[in-house]
Chain A
Amino acid sequence: MAKRIILGAVALLLVIAAAYASFFVAPTERTMGDIQRIFYFHVGSAWAAMDAFFVCFIANLLYVWKRQQKYDSLAVSCAEVGLVLTTVVLITGPIWAKPVWGIYWTWDARLTSTFVLWLLYISYLLLRSLIEEADRRALLSALFGIFAFIDVPLVFFSIRWWRTQHPAPVIMGGSGSGLDPTMNKVFFFSVFAMHVLAAFLIVERYVLEQMRHDIELLQREAEA
Chain B
Amino acid sequence: MKNLGSVFAAYLIGWSVFFLFYITIAKRTSDLRSEIERLKNSLPRGK
Give yes or no for direct A-B contact (beta carbon below 8 Å): yes
CB of A135 within 8 A of chain B? no
Flag if B21 contacts A84 (CB, 8 Å).
yes
Instruction: Please report the number of residue pairs spanning A and B whose Cβ atoms sit closer than 8 angstroms.
Output: 87
CB proximity of A8 to chain B, nearest CB, Å = 8
Flag if A218 contacts B18 (CB, 8 Å).
no
Enumerate chain A residues within 8 angstroms of B3, measured Cβ to Cβ: 33-35, 99
CB proximity of A223 to chain B, nearest CB, Å = 9
Flag if A201 contacts B2 (CB, 8 Å).
no
Question: Which listed residue, B6, B14, B36, touches A35 by the CB 8 Å rule?
Answer: B6
Helix, strand, loop or mixed for chain A's interface?
helix
Check A197/B42 contact, CB under 8 A, given A41-B10, A208-B28.
no
Flag if B10 contacts A95 (CB, 8 Å).
yes
Check A95/B9 contact, CB under 8 A, given A33-B3, A204-B22, A219-B39.
yes
Query: B-facing mask of A97-111, CB < 8 A → 1, else 0?
Result: 011000000000000
CB proximity of A21 to chain B, nearest CB, Å = 12
Q: Which residue on B lies nearest to A223, using beta carbons?
A: B46
Enumerate chain B residues within 8 angstroms of A96, measured Cβ to Cβ: 6, 10
Flag if B33 contacts A201 (CB, 8 Å).
no
Flag if A205 contacts B25 (CB, 8 Å).
yes
Question: Which listed residue, B7, B11, B14, B22, touches A34 by the CB 8 Å rule?
Answer: B7
Enumerate chain A residues within 8 angstroms of B9, measured Cβ to Cβ: 95
Enumerate chain A residues within 8 angstroms of B42, measured Cβ to Cβ: 222
Report the stretch among A50-58, A85-93, A123-131, A155-163 that lies at the interface: A85-93
Flag if B18 contacts A211 (CB, 8 Å).
no
Enumerate chain B residues within 8 angstroms of A136, measured Cβ to Cβ: none
CB of A45 within 8 A of chain B? yes
Flag if B17 contacts A91 (CB, 8 Å).
yes
Q: Which of B1-47 contact A (CB under 8 A)?
A: 1-4, 6-7, 9-11, 13-15, 17-18, 21-22, 25-26, 28-29, 32-33, 35-36, 39-40, 42-43, 46
CB proximity of A30 to chain B, nearest CB, Å = 14
Could you tell me the distance between the alpha carbons of A208 and B27 in the complex, rounded to whole angstroms?
10
CB of A214 within 8 A of chain B? yes
Q: Which residue on B lies nearest to A218, using beta carbons?
A: B39
Closest 10 CB pairs between A and B? A35-B3, A92-B10, A88-B14, A95-B10, A218-B39, A38-B10, A211-B32, A34-B4, A208-B29, A84-B21
A selection of 27 A-B contacts at a CB cut-off of 8 Å is A34-B2, A34-B4, A41-B14, A81-B21, A87-B17, A88-B17, A88-B18, A91-B10, A91-B17, A95-B9, A95-B10, A96-B6, A96-B10, A98-B6, A99-B6, A197-B18, A201-B18, A201-B21, A201-B25, A208-B29, A214-B36, A215-B32, A218-B43, A219-B39, A221-B43, A222-B43, A222-B46
